[in-house]
Amino acid sequence: MSFPIAFPSSEKPWVYVSVSADDSYYLLEYNSPPDNRYTQDFVIAYLDALDYIRTKGTPRILVTTSRIPKFFSNGLDFEAAISTKGFFPNYYYRLMRTILLFPWPTVALINGHAFAAGFMVAACHDYRVMNPSKGFVCMNEVAFGADLKPPMMSIFRVKFGTQLTAKITLRAHRFPGAEALETGIVDALGGLPEVETLIKHKEISSYVKSPSYAAIRIELLKEVIADTWRYDEDIAKEKRDLESREAYFSKREKEIDAKLSKL
């Protein structure tokens, strides 16, 4: 095993993995210009890096962040996502699940904007540290008419509760660092030094080698993990529910019209 290492290659280093100077954590940095939107190729490189660490590495905390100062991730490349067969179950949901199932503690360093899918990925980590002076975390799907599938909702509902999730998803609220900390979306404000302080003060490192750490997280987040496996089932259910609602309201419209005609 060798660090540092780049994925998919040193000639195209979209994802770069190194080990901290004190040997306590892996630093996974990604760089997919202009704003780290998730595409099939980017996600494959990200997954390869995570799986390399998991299969070749020794237990350490995982810290993920962006090498683009303005953006942690601006979400999906939506046109590419919907035109790529199986993108959600085979790539994006798999990325969420791989982070949720990672065997050691995980920290997202949100150095810039984390919108939509970027916010979801940050939420999949155990801890989050956010830039205090620039950047927002935001789920803005309601603003442009995109719906949110089960794991895209359950990650927030399970992590942050229904009331805060409503503010996140139904209001497309933009949380700056200070508000994200106040509401519990992030655990600290700052950069890499603050990540290292968080690791030290919360004694996260003392649980790196715990054989039950991942198992407890799996039980804690089992609803979200299960949701990432059910894409085809959820799409079929969504279609049935839509057809059922349309049939119901079509019937109700006729019933109401019939009543009104007798007035």
CATH of the domain at 119: 3.90.226.10
Rounded to two decimals, what is the model's pTM?
A: 0.92
Query: Which residues face 226 on adjacent strands?
Result: none
41 and 109 belong to one structural domain: yes
Among 150, 169, 118, smallest CA distance to 231 is for: 150
How far apart CA 7 and CA 30 sit, in angstroms, is 9
246 and 175 belong to one structural domain: no
128 and 150 belong to one structural domain: yes
Q: For residue 121, what pLDDT is reported?
A: 99
187 and 58 belong to one structural domain: yes
Positive or negative: CA dihedral 68, 71, 73, 75: negative
35 and 102 belong to one structural domain: yes
Least confident of 30-34, 66-70, 110-114, 230-234: 230-234
Residue 116 has what DSSP assignment?
A: T
34: preceding bond cis by omega (within 30 degrees): yes
Q: Regarding predicted confidence, which is higher, 181 or 211?
A: 181
**Mean pLDDT to the nearest integer, 89-93:** 96
The proportion of the chain whose per-residue pLDDT surpasses 70, expressed as a percent, equals 100
**Mean pLDDT to the nearest integer, 40-61:** 96
Please, which pLDDT band fits residue 242 given cuts at 50, 70 and 90?
confident
Q: For residue 42, what pLDDT is reported?
A: 96
How far apart CA 181 and CA 166 sit, in angstroms, is 17
135 and 96 belong to one structural domain: yes
Reduced to 3 states (helix: H, G, I; strand: E, B; else coil), residue 180 is helix
Q: For residue 234, give both structure tokens.
A: 């959820």
128 and 246 belong to one structural domain: no
Which domain, by its residues, includes 254? 231-263
254 and 210 belong to one structural domain: no
207 and 251 belong to one structural domain: no
Reduced to 3 states (helix: H, G, I; strand: E, B; else coil), residue 131 is coil
220 and 248 belong to one structural domain: no
Residues 22-36: tens digit of each pLDDT: 999 999 999 999 999
**Mean pLDDT to the nearest integer, 210-224:** 97
How far apart CA 102 and CA 224 sit, in angstroms, is 14
Residue 1 has pLDDT above 70, yes or no: no
Q: For residue 51, what pLDDT is reported?
A: 97
Residue 256 burial class via C-beta count within 10 angstroms: exposed 0-12, middle 13-18, buried 19 and up: exposed
Q: For residue 197, what pLDDT is reported?
A: 94
Residue 74 has pLDDT above 80, yes or no: yes
How far apart CA 49 and CA 26 sit, in angstroms, is 11
179 and 253 belong to one structural domain: no
**Helices (H), ranges, the chain:** 40-56, 78-83, 87, 93-100, 117-124, 141-144, 150-160, 162-169, 177-183, 192-201, 213-220, 222-229, 231-261
How far apart CA 92 and CA 83 sit, in angstroms, is 14
**Domain tally, the chain:** 2
Q: Are 119 and 96 in contact, with CB atoms under 8 Å apart? A: no
12 and 35 belong to one structural domain: yes
Residue 75 has pLDDT above 70, yes or no: yes
Residue 255 has pLDDT above 80, yes or no: no
Beta-carbon contacts of residue 127 (< 8 Å; ≥ 6 apart): 105, 106, 107, 108, 187, 188, 198, 202, 204
The proportion of the chain whose per-residue pLDDT surpasses 90, expressed as a percent, equals 79
Reduced to 3 states (helix: H, G, I; strand: E, B; else coil), residue 221 is coil
